[in-house]
Structure 1
Amino acid sequence: MTEGVLLAITAGVMLGLYALPEKFTNGFTYENTWSLFFLLTMFVVPIVASVLLIDGFGQIFGEMPAELWLKMGLASFLWGIGVMMWSKAINHIGLSLGFSIFIGTVIFIGSLIPFAVDGLPDTESLILILIGILVVLFGVILKGKAGLIREKDEALANINNLTVDTKGSMATGILIAVIGGLLATGFSYANAVGRPYLHEASQAQGNADWVTAVAVMFPIFISGGVVMAAYFGYHLSKKKAWSAFKTPSFSKNFILILIMAVFHYAASALFAFAAFKLGESGNTVGYAIYNTSCVVTAILSGVITKEWISASPKSKKLLYAGVACMVIGIVVIAMGN
């Protein structure tokens, strides 16, 4: 139990930090940065990691039932759309709030999905887990309110000729994050439905327990990457942004984006292993812990990088209250396990 919780928290911290290097890229448009990121994190890193780390890679996936490929593929395709929308939300409303709204939605819906696959735990545990999820949801609502107030604060700052980076409509960004979060719960379903077979198949090849997490990530990331490749290929051509890859800062940008890709992939794989360690309710409990840790980390990163520098005290209080609710919720969910 303790090991699983610590693994889930570590994975969440890694996910919360993954987008931070994006703030330091130069000469890239939104399409350049995120297309390269998704190419690396959805295809290059998973393929290299899977081939190198999984003994019997070809046999495991060659014998995987077509029905399971279909279930994981469709769910992961939806997850891919959701993650793509997440990147748009970050571009609209910043790192801290984009993470908060998106991940909060993922926790609320994604933590319930495994119950449909794995079955319900005992009544007392179920009640505690549901209470914890509702507390997390309340925290998300508080942070959404904080974001709307921050937008008004920044508009006022602009009127007073202060320098503020306004990326887009706060309401639009919040809506994108919520819809993206709903779609991204496909990850939770794909992990829950694919793990039993892939764990057994991996064990049969003599792999260690943790290798199952790498195996589960392979079909999820490859399937999720398809929609992103199509989306960014279209927009790079439409906006004639391919030439921006020729920037003198390409080498620096590539390293920063590769770090993003490795952190993003490793966080997901570590979560899958944490869910295994947490036992019967691991997909639900681990998912909530993982994503809440991610949000707290992202918010701290956003505060450190001055995303909330022009926000009023009221807005910041709501933000911190929302974070507190998510932390309390995660403790209640862990107790439920």
Structure 2
Amino acid sequence: MFIGIAAALVAGTMLGLYALPGKYTTDFEEENKWSLFFILTMFVVPLGATLTLMKGVGAVYSGIDSGILLTMIVSSFLWGVGVMMWGKAIDHIGLSLGFSLFIGTVILVGSILPLGIAISKGQPLPSTPALIAILTGIAIVLLGVLSNGKAGLAREADEAAIKSAEDAEGDGGESAKPKSYALGITIAVVGGLLATGFNVAFTYGAGPLGEAVVANGNPGWMTAMAVMLPVFLSGGAVMTFYFLYQLSQKKAWGKFKTPAFGKNFVLIFVMAFFHYAASAMYAFAADKLGANGPVVVYAIFNTTCLVVAVVSGILTGEWTKASPTARRWLYTGLFCMVAGVLTLAFGQTLDQAPETEPVAEAVVAADAEGV
């Protein structure tokens, strides 16, 4: 159990920190940073990890039904757009808000979707106690998302007031045009909605790929890697075309020739490794914790990720110019999201059967976060 809990903590920490190295790149435009990141995290790292760690890779994918594969590809395109928007949101509103709003939206949608699917298919809903707990958790997370949105708008107003005061004093120095927090908040929320395409891909692909993974002598947790490869490759294709256009449109190709490229590459590779490895570590943790693994890891992973992202944003000075009111909204949002995640996890345990399916099913709950 200790190994599983430790792995869940590491996974949440890696996802919470994955974007932090990007704050220290130099001489790169946003398009340079994120295009290199997506090439590494969507193509290089997944292919390298899968071919190195998984046995019988060709056999695992050769038997998958073409209809399932097509569904995975289409939903992965949506997920790719969502993750791309996540990166844009972080550039607009910082780590703290970018993470909490994006992941909060994913948790909300990921918790509501199963209920909607059950209703549409005429399937029984969870028991009354479980349903009450789940709906309560959803409401608390929603409060957290709204609180963080309020924190972002309050912080924007604080920074605008400080800038106006500096201009009135005749500082005279030119500064970059401030980015709209309202736009950044919208990008994060819409990106979170689109990122739930990962859930769809995983729901359709985990079963057949999970059986093939185990049949070829691999541990069950590697199902996550088997599903992630086509998902990342498909999502990466969307991002490749987008950034090729952006780099050309903004004439940013020359920025790759900077003397700081080596340092930037290392920083961005760390981002890519953390981003991908968090999912594999999540699956490993769920596998190690047995029957209660999905629920326990879901709570630990999301809570750790949110706390680490918000704290790292604060420590790197994102909220230096924010008023106490804006910070209170941020802390309230974080508290609500953590409380909501724990409530959702508790609700899921109320109807949990003694036995659970392999970890393939377990990973669906959290991997939609773009991990």
Structure 1-normalised TM-score? 0.92
Deviation track 1:249-282 (CA, whole Å, cap 9, x = no partner) reads 0000000000000000011223344556677897
The equivalent residue for 1:37 is 37
CA contact (8 A) 1:135 1:325 kept: yes
CA contact (8 A) 1:114 1:189 kept: no
Which consecutive residues of structure 1, in runs of 5 or more, have no partner in the other structure? none
> Which structure has the greater CA radius of gyration?
2
1:301 aligns with 2:312: yes
State the 1:89 CA deviation.
Answer: 0.9
Deviation track 1:108-149 (CA, whole Å, cap 9, x = no partner) reads 002333553897544433332232122111111111101111
Relative to structure 2, which stretch is displaced further, 7-16 or 41-50? Answer: 7-16
User: Match for 1:140: what amino acid?
Assistant: V
CA distance in 2, matches of 1:121, 1:277: 26
Alpha carbons of structure 1 residues 80 and 278: separation in structure 2 relative to 1, 3 Å:
farther
State the 1:5 CA deviation.
Answer: 6.2
The equivalent residue for 1:127 is 132
CA distance in 1, matches of 2:100, 2:317: 16
State the 1:160 CA deviation.
Answer: 2.2
CA contact (8 A) 1:91 1:167 kept: no
Alpha carbons of structure 1 residues 89 and 141: separation in structure 2 relative to 1, 3 Å:
same
Q: CA RMSD in A?
A: 2.6
The equivalent residue for 2:340 is 329
1:140 aligns with 2:151: no
CA distance in 1, matches of 2:218, 2:9: 25
The equivalent residue for 2:58 is 58
CA distance in 2, matches of 1:157, 1:195: 51
CA distance in 1, matches of 2:137, 2:3: 20
* Mapping 1:74-153, distance limit 5 Å: 74-114=74-114, 116=117, 121-153=126-158
1:244 aligns with 2:248: no
How high is the sequence identity, in percent, across the aligned residues? 56
Relative to structure 2, which stretch is displaced further, 244-253 or 151-160? Answer: 151-160
Relative to structure 2, which stretch is displaced further, 80-89 or 66-75? Answer: 66-75
Relative to structure 2, which stretch is displaced further, 126-135 or 308-317? Answer: 126-135
CA contact (8 A) 1:129 1:285 kept: no
CA contact (8 A) 1:271 1:290 kept: yes
Relative to structure 2, which stretch is displaced further, 159-168 or 139-148? Answer: 159-168
CA contact (8 A) 2:101 2:148 kept: yes
The equivalent residue for 2:189 is 178
CA distance in 2, matches of 1:287, 1:21: 25
- The total of aligned residue pairs comes to 337
The equivalent residue for 2:165 is 160
State the 1:150 CA deviation.
Answer: 0.6
CA distance in 2, matches of 1:288, 1:222: 28
Deviation track 1:190-236 (CA, whole Å, cap 9, x = no partner) reads 22322121111111011112222211211111111111001001111
User: Match for 1:247: what amino acid?
Assistant: T
The equivalent residue for 1:233 is 244
User: Match for 1:188: what amino acid?
Assistant: N
CA distance in 2, matches of 1:322, 1:178: 15
* Mapping 1:314-325, distance limit 5 Å: 314-325=325-336
CA distance in 2, matches of 1:12, 1:306: 22
CA contact (8 A) 1:46 1:265 kept: yes
CA distance in 2, matches of 1:274, 1:215: 17
State the 1:4 CA deviation.
Answer: 6.0
CA distance in 2, matches of 1:195, 1:147: 37
User: Match for 1:128: what amino acid?
Assistant: A
The equivalent residue for 2:358 is none
State the 1:94 CA deviation.
Answer: 1.2
Structure 2-normalised TM-score? 0.84
CA contact (8 A) 1:104 1:292 kept: no
Find the residue that maps to 2:317 and give its secondary structure.
Answer: coil
CA distance in 2, matches of 1:32, 1:100: 25
User: Match for 1:150: what amino acid?
Assistant: R
CA contact (8 A) 2:7 2:285 kept: yes
Relative to structure 2, which stretch is displaced further, 177-186 or 212-221? Answer: 212-221
User: Match for 2:27: what amino acid?
Assistant: G
